[in-house]
Chain A
Amino acid sequence: MALIRAEELVKTYRTGEVDVHAVRGVDFAIESKSFVVFVGPSGSGKTTLLNMIGCLDRPTGGKLAVVDTDVGTLDRPAAAEFRGKHIGFVFQDFNLIPVLTVYENIEYPLIMVQDWPEKKRREQVMRLLKAVGMSGQENKRPDQISGGQKQRVAVARALATDAKLVLADEPTANLDHDTAYHIIELMKKMRDEFGTTFVFSTHDPKIMGEAEVTFTLEDGRIQQPSPRPVAIHA
């Protein structure tokens, strides 16, 4: 059973008189625990697609099922609830909450999105801090750590609620190459450790190679729905 299944998925933006066909009918399936990348030139529809999978945006046609839910029909509050329950997000600009410490940022979804008891929260946050290699930094503020460290914290936050799926739109675009590589490795390690499905997008050819499944988008269509063998990184 696929975690995500799209059939004839369409997204058309109406801006004034002109229609922008961002996604023009795509079909794909993403299995649970896979490590997937969407690649393609600028404007090909990567962000649009990830936003639809993440229930941030609604399709204008076709079918999209995420975690056995027809997400195309969710209204705003239901979509928010669905995101809080099943999906973690990693953003290009890290988007940590500036007034909260590293620890509090990871803890945030456990308090404000879900209602975890204190003790369980603490265990989860400490475990994630360790998993992303940020142990000992929990009392720092976001402005006191590097971009790579911020993204590690963001990955930990995305995993906090034990989400089945983490979506990351260009998570490495603001990082230098080495750091970018480490973040992708970290995500893959997290997939292995927690069994979370990761779907991300990128422009960076070297990063693409790290994915196990690659979808290439062009002008709103999937070019080669070709699952590739696990890349061996030298």
Chain B
Amino acid sequence: MRNILKIAVRNLARFGRRTLLTSSLITLDIVGVLLFIAVAGSFKTIMIGQFTDSMLGHLEVHRKGYVASIDSLPLNLNMQPTMVGKVEQALKATDAVDAYSERIKLGAMFSNFTETTSIRISGIDPAKEIATVPLLPGRVIGDKRAGALLNPGEILIPELIARGLKVKAGDTVVLVATNRDGSVNGKTFSVAGVMQSASGPGGKDGYISIDDARALLRMKEAEVSEIAIRLKNPAQIEAVYAQLSKELSAIAGAGAGAGAGTGSADKSASAGKGGGSGLEVHTWAALSPFSNIANMIDLLAVFIKIMMVSIVLISVMNVMMMAVYERVREIGTISAIGTPPRRILALFITEGLLLGLGGAALGTLISLAAIYALNIWKITVKFGMQQAIVLSPAVSARDVVIIAALVAVMALLASLQPAWKASRMDPVTALGHV
């Protein structure tokens, strides 16, 4: 084996320029892939963070069926206090949960006394909400007001409505909402601030305090539309999602008596859609169309990997086919003097493998250096409401190992055919080759 390695290395050195060219192609290839993974991964993390930390939270709990008809923000699919209590218990018992925030969601009419438009309102407990989506205060446009983000009797309005209806902080406005029994109720609010939309320029989401929301809707009980959850580590989203889903389905089963009572009293349209006593958990990705961007980045990474794989495959195969062709007489000689075909095979496979691995090793080193440099130079991007977010590109050891292994496997596959051809060569024909 050592001898095979020695011969392979020397043959690579013998055709030094070609070896250099091919291995530097592979090197570049790997640098491209690893840098993409690092930068795109960092961008993705920031992007996801913008959604989860400024609006959605990592996970949300709803009554079963609520999300299916979330467009109408159905009041009859709110969670009852007993149910909320049980969810809270489960969340407090879950170590991975950092914070959670109960919200009342409703659709309302917004009026500045001369014009009226529709608005989606979240009733929140500001302290809990900020703990759950810490970037929320950052969405307020203009100078920060001293004191609380939102007091009772105040409303945070979306930029779109502020501009359209020419409303500014300090103005008095009216919200009119239809209650669950069909009656209509109105309430005046003072505008606490104007907010950027987290979900793009079309967003019409406003915030009031949860008590105001309940008063506006004339709720007798402390109902909740959704509970947003923040995890200590966003990487655990899937794991916690699975765990909570299981636990909450058990809770819903136990609490069926309380839930079913109110549920059946509703003459709701969504009762037919499976709205019932159950609970369901969703990840932010399931709730936001922007998760598609994250998926797209992943898809792009897959494409880039496929391209890398093809480049390695083609370049190594090309070089090895050339190597076999150039050394036909040499192959004839070693075959004539009795070198077993499997050793000839090993000789050429080793050569191809070394070519790939050499490029991979160098590429990995350069990539790691480049990623290190990018972190020092602090590349910034603009995304969402934050003007300059510093990218912190990083690759996991797992990614590096996977890429290197992929290159090795491709180099192996690429040299297989030429090596096979060499090992099967007829010595007489090969020796006669000029």
Which residues from chain A sit less than 8 Å from chain B, CB to CB?
51, 54, 56-57, 76-77, 80-85, 87-89, 91, 93, 95, 97-100, 108-109, 111-113, 157-158
Report how far A87 CA is from B338 CA in the complex, Å. 9
Interchain nearest-CB distance for A106 vs B (Å): 12
Q: Across the interface, do A95 and B333 meet the contact criterion of CB distance under 8 Å?
A: yes
Question: What are the residues of chain A within 8 A of B336 when measuring CB–CB?
Answer: 54, 56, 83, 89, 91
CB distance from B52 to the nearest CB of A (A): 59
The 22 listed contacts between A and B (C-beta, < 8 Å) are A56-B336, A56-B427, A56-B428, A80-B339, A80-B341, A81-B338, A81-B340, A83-B338, A84-B340, A85-B338, A91-B333, A91-B431, A95-B333, A97-B7, A97-B333, A97-B334, A98-B330, A100-B10, A108-B334, A109-B338, A112-B334, A112-B343
Interface centre among B13, B14, B334, B431 (most CB of A within 10 A): B431
**Main SS at interface, chain A:** helix
Q: Within residues 321 to 371 of chain B, which ones have a CB less than 8 A from any CB in chain A?
A: 329-330, 332-341, 343
Q: A57-B428, A80-B341 are in contact. List 16 more A-B contacts (CB 8 A).
A: A56-B431, A80-B339, A81-B340, A83-B336, A84-B339, A87-B338, A91-B431, A93-B329, A95-B332, A95-B431, A97-B334, A99-B14, A100-B10, A112-B4, A112-B334, A113-B340
- Residues on B lying within 8 angstroms of A by beta carbon are 3-4, 7, 10-11, 13-14, 329-330, 332-341, 343, 427-428, 431
What residues on B are CB-neighbors of A97 within 8 Å? Answer: 7, 330, 333-334
Contact A84 B338 (CB under 8 A): yes
Complex: how many Å from CA A108 to CA B10?
14
Complex Cα gap A113–B334 (Å): 9
Note all chain A residues with C-beta closer than 8 A to B10.
99-100
Once A57-B428, A98-B14, A98-B330 are accepted as A-B contacts, the answer to whether A109 and B337 lie under 8 Å apart by CB is yes
Task: Verify B339–A113 contact, CB threshold 8 A.
Answer: yes
How far, in Å, is A43 (CB) from chain B's closest CB? 14
Contacts of B13 in A (CB 8 A): 99
Contacts of B337 in A (CB 8 A): 83-84, 88-89, 108-109, 113, 157-158
Bound CA span A88–B338, Å: 9
Residue pair A77, B340 in contact (C-beta under 8 Å) = yes
Check A77 against B341 for contact (C-beta < 8 Å): yes
* Min C-beta distance of A17 to chain B, whole Å: 21
Minimum distance in angstroms from B213 CB to a CB of chain A: 81
Name the residue of chain B whose CB is nearest to the CB of A48.
B428
In the complex, how many angstroms separate the beta carbon of B426 from the nearest chain A beta carbon? 8
Minimum CB distance partner of B427 in chain A = A56
B344 to chain A, nearest CB (A): 9
How far does the Cβ of B14 sit from chain A's closest Cβ, in whole Å? 5
A81 to B340, CA, bound (A): 7
Q: Report the nearest A residue to B329, measured CB to CB.
A: A95
- Please name the residue on chain B nearest to A76 by beta carbon: B341
Q: Within the complex, what minimum Cβ distance (angstroms) separates B270 from chain A?
A: 75
* 8 pairs of A and B residues whose beta carbons are closest in the complex: A84-B338, A99-B10, A83-B338, A95-B333, A113-B338, A111-B3, A56-B428, A112-B339
Residues of B within 8 A of A88 (CB): 337
Distance A76 CA – B241 CA, assembled complex (angstroms): 62
Chain A residues with CB under 8 A of B334: 97, 108, 112
| CA gap between A22 and B10 in the complex, in Å | 40
Shortest distance between the CB of B408 and any CB in chain A (Å): 23
Return B416 CB to nearest CB of chain A, in Å. Answer: 19
CB of A100 within 8 A of CB of B7, answer yes
Q: Which residues of B contact A95 (CB under 8 A)?
A: 329-330, 332-333, 431
> Which A residues lie within 8 Å of B3 (CB)?
108, 111-112
Closest to B434 in A: A93
Chain A residues in 8 Å Cβ range of B339: 80, 84, 112-113
Q: How far is the CA of A157 from the CA of B334 in the complex (A)?
A: 11
What distance in Å separates the Cβ of B323 from its nearest Cβ neighbour in chain A?
12
**Which B residues lie within 8 Å of A98 (CB)?**
14, 330
State A89–B13 Cα separation when bound (angstroms).
Answer: 28
Q: Which of chain B's residues has its CB closest to A93's CB?
A: B329
**Quick one: closest A residue to B431, CB to CB?**
A91
A79 to chain B, nearest CB (A): 9
Contacts of B7 in A (CB 8 A): 97, 99-100
Complex: how many Å from CA A97 to CA B339?
Answer: 13
Cα of A9 to Cα of B340 in the assembled complex, Å: 27
Most buried by B among A81, A91, A112, A113: A112
**B163–chain A nearest beta-carbon distance, Å:** 76
Q: Which of A56, A93, A100, A158 has the most CB of B within 10 A?
A: A56
**For the complex, what is the distance from the CA of A198 to the CA of B339, rounded to whole Å?**
21
Q: Which residues of A contact B341 (CB under 8 A)?
A: 76-77, 80
Residue in A57, A80, A91, A113 whose Cβ sees the most chain B Cβ within 10 Å:
A80
Residue picked from B7, B332, B333, most chain A C-beta under 10 Å:
B333
Closest Cβ neighbor of A51 among chain B residues = B428
Determine how close the nearest CB of chain B comes to the CB of A55; give it in whole angstroms: 9
- In the bound complex, CA of A112 to CA of B431 (Å): 19
Complex Cα–Cα for A108 and B11 (A): 15
